[in-house]
Amino acid sequence: MPVRAHSAEGSDSTFELMARTDTVSWSAGVNTIVRVTRMAMATPWLATFSVLATVVASALMIWVPLLLGQAIDFAQQTLTGEAGAARRGLAVTAAMVLAVSILRGIFTTFQNYLAEAVGHHLAYRLRQRTYDKIQRLSFGFHDRIHSGELITLGMLDLEAVRMFFATGLIRLVMLLILIGFGAVMLLMTDPLLALVALSFVPVVGVVSSFSQLRLRRTWLELQERLGVLSRVMEENLAGVRVVRAFAAQHHEMNKFRGASVDALGLAHERVRLRVGAAAIMTLSFMTAMGLVLWVGGRQVLAGEMTLGTLATFLTFMTILQMPVRQLGMLVNAFARTSTCGSRLFGLLDLEPAVQDPPGAPALVLGEGRLRFDDVGFAYPSAPDQPVLSRISFEARRGETIGIVGPQGSGKSTIAQLVPRFYDVTEGRITIDGQDMRDVTLASLRKAVTVVQQDAFVFTTTLENNIAYGDPWADPRRIEAASSDAQIHGFIASLPEGYRTVLAERGASLSGGQRQRLSIARGLMLSPPILIFDDSTAAIDARTEEQILAALRQKAQDRLTILIAHRLNTLRHADRIFVLERGRIVEEGSPGALLASDSRYRSLHELQTRAHEGAA
């Protein structure tokens, strides 16, 4: 039979190389910006109308200084002659200023609303894709990536990308119109005074940009420190019982205080950066305005310029001040989107190491024969440390197989290879002659159920927890599985029964109750291959025996694999495999192994003496 080698090192392992840094190559940053822009344009009507509203609002904003200057000239004319015509012109201009201001407010409202709508539509699509990708990435990826990193990625980084359309693209359009067309308007009126009036723009733009980039770098560092703070809090909350049991509140408080002080120090530095930059920008603006008043005032006194024209310059400078200050925010928006977007797309572009091959058929079950053929395996996080080596055995429906061995011998790894949580490094695993890498994951995992020792419980009802694999299951099936798992009596005694909502992580249940709940969840699916990975370790011996008796009644309908440290769990197994350092060192029935000079017999005698000593 041919043996196909396959690397367990998948493409989704590259994500761990992506550090949270502000440094992104120019080409990668541009590609990210282009990609985000294209995704924002997936709602073309919203994006188009938002840009149009920005253009109209900016044009109306430029019109306001002209109207105010014209109004001042009309007001001056009422003092020098032709008062009637001047008053009529002043009234018309005032009405136009009011109308333009109202229209500008309306279009600005549309601009803000539509830009935010585009951003939220973008965030919705990215959020769905991110969550879907996390669901499909292999176990090897999750072994290396901290869940906090993924939460940060799906919240802070995604939020930065969401805001790009409103704070980046729309702001860019507004600044181009205000600075470009406004500068042309002023230069056409008086080139010298225009240069003086616009002299603050490069100073404010440079200071704002550099300060925002520095704030961006410190923001990333602050994000890291806040992440440490969150991890300290998360660990404290998750292990609150351990903390209280060892009276370690003072120690935990010192840890939290230290992380808080680190974050507070950096927050103070950010405040100093922001205040210093604001002071320089305000000084440059006020200096430019003073020069305009001096140069323009001399021209007004010389009769070379009207008072209204000078007012136009001053009003435009006032209007332009805030958008120019936002140049730094614009630069920051592009920088932030390029870095956060690169990390986000780095995740979205990953291909799961374990996935369906193109055109893969569903698994076709016959006699339910499981075969390991010279299987070798090393975890992707430690490819040079093989966990299994040349594992070969065959089992079929109706058999109960036991697997024992010391910790680290590879027992749980076998349990995780059968449903293809990982791909084997060497050899192959087949079910009824079909290589599990050639069939769909959905059909494989429908045929194989693993009940793990660490029983995870969802914060929902007991019924939903048990029926997790088949939410529309008949209540009688749920009760039958619960009865086999010896937890039906406990559930029935609760006031709300199966509708009882569990606390977070099943804190209201004992360890044994959580394991029995997990066993019921697995039994309800009635899979052809059922694997218990030391999943009765927290259950008392009497209840465990009742569970095993229920399993034996239906053993002919499935292949059952029991992985356990307590050998009593395996005494009714048809065959037992003893593992040591990733290899099968002994195989046989419980009786045959006990009758020989075997490791299994030595382990059995050791456990028997320990039990008798405890009794």
Q: What is the pLDDT of residues 490-513, one digit of tens each?
A: 999 999 999 998 876 667 788 888
Co-location of 296 and 394 in the same domain: no
Cα 380 to Cα 434: distance, rounded to the nearest angstrom: 24
- In eight-state DSSP terms, residue 505 is G
Co-location of 247 and 289 in the same domain: yes
- CA-to-CA separations, 29 to 25, 216, 341, 349, 471, in angstroms, rounded: 6, 15, 8, 16, 44
Cα 224 to Cα 254: distance, rounded to the nearest angstrom: 19
Nearest to 67 by CA among 194, 110, 59, 105: 59
Question: What domain count does the chain have?
Answer: 2
What is the four-CA torsion angle of 554, 557, 558, 559, rounded to 10 degrees? 90
Say which residues have a Cβ less than 8 Å from residue 186's Cβ, sequence separation at least 6. Answer: 193, 194, 197, 198, 313, 316
Q: What pLDDT does residue 467 have? A: 92
Nearest to 585 by CA among 395, 328, 374, 409: 409
Cα 24 to Cα 29: distance, rounded to the nearest angstrom: 6
Q: What is the pLDDT of residues 449-464, one digit of tens each?
A: 999 888 888 888 999 9
Residues β-bridged to residue 560: 400, 530
Co-location of 319 and 430 in the same domain: no
What does DSSP say about strands 400-404 and 575-580: parallel, antiparallel, or unpaired? Answer: parallel
CATH of the domain at 376: 3.40.50.300
Q: At what angle do helices 511-523 and 541-553 cross, to 10 degrees?
A: 0
What are 438's two structure tokens? 């050639």
Cα 529 to Cα 248: distance, rounded to the nearest angstrom: 45
Q: What pLDDT does residue 160 have? A: 80
CATH of the domain at 324: 1.20.1560.10
Tokens 């798992």, residue located? 485
- CA-to-CA separations, 167 to 116, 159, 174, 372, in angstroms, rounded: 10, 12, 11, 57
Say which residues have a Cβ less than 8 Å from residue 78's Cβ, sequence separation at least 6. Answer: 86, 87, 90
pTM: 0.74
Q: Identify whether 2 is part of a domain.
A: no
CB 223 within 8 A of CB 156: yes
Co-location of 325 and 453 in the same domain: no
Cα 458 to Cα 470: distance, rounded to the nearest angstrom: 15
Range of the domain at 47: 24-348
Co-location of 288 and 384 in the same domain: no
Nearest to 460 by CA among 490, 495, 504, 507: 504
52 alpha-carbon distance from chain centroid: 34
Alpha helices (H) in 191-306, listed in sequence order: 191-197, 200-238, 240-245, 249-301
Q: Identify whether 355 is part of a domain.
A: no
Looking at 298, 315, 348, which one is the last position of a domain? 348
Cα 204 to Cα 286: distance, rounded to the nearest angstrom: 11
Co-location of 182 and 214 in the same domain: yes
CB 189 within 8 A of CB 309: yes
CB 71 within 8 A of CB 146: no
CB 491 within 8 A of CB 482: yes
Co-location of 312 and 452 in the same domain: no
Cα 413 to Cα 422: distance, rounded to the nearest angstrom: 9
Q: What is the pLDDT of residues 290-343, one digit of tens each?
A: 998 898 888 888 888 888 888 888 888 888 877 777 777 777 788 778 878 888
CA dihedral sign of residues 177, 182, 183, 187: positive
Neighbour order of strands in the sheet with 583-588: 448-452, 529-533, 559-563, 400-404, 575-580, 583-588
Q: Identify whether 553 is part of a domain.
A: yes
Residue 399 sits at φ, ψ, to 5 deg, of: -95, 150
Co-location of 271 and 320 in the same domain: yes
Q: What pLDDT does residue 380 have? A: 83
Helix (H/G/I), strand (E/B), else coil: 527:
coil
Cα 614 to Cα 444: distance, rounded to the nearest angstrom: 43
Q: Which residues of 557-568 are buried (b: 16+ CB within 10 A; e: fewer)?
A: ebbbbbbbbbbe
CB 452 within 8 A of CB 518: yes
Co-location of 344 and 382 in the same domain: no
Co-location of 381 and 325 in the same domain: no
209 alpha-carbon distance from chain centroid: 29
Residue 415 sits at φ, ψ, to 5 deg, of: -60, -35
Ranges of the chain with pLDDT below 50: 1-10, 13-14, 16-20
Helix (H/G/I), strand (E/B), else coil: 587:
strand
Q: What pLDDT does residue 611 have? A: 57
Q: Identify whether 10 is part of a domain.
A: no
Co-location of 261 and 402 in the same domain: no
Q: Identify whether 7 is part of a domain.
A: no
Q: Identify whether 140 is part of a domain.
A: yes
Co-location of 541 and 602 in the same domain: yes
Q: How many CB atoms lie within 10 A of CB 297?
A: 13
Looking at 296, 317, 348, which one is the last position of a domain? 348
Q: Identify whether 113 is part of a domain.
A: yes
Q: What pLDDT does residue 444 have? A: 93
Q: Identify whether 8 is part of a domain.
A: no
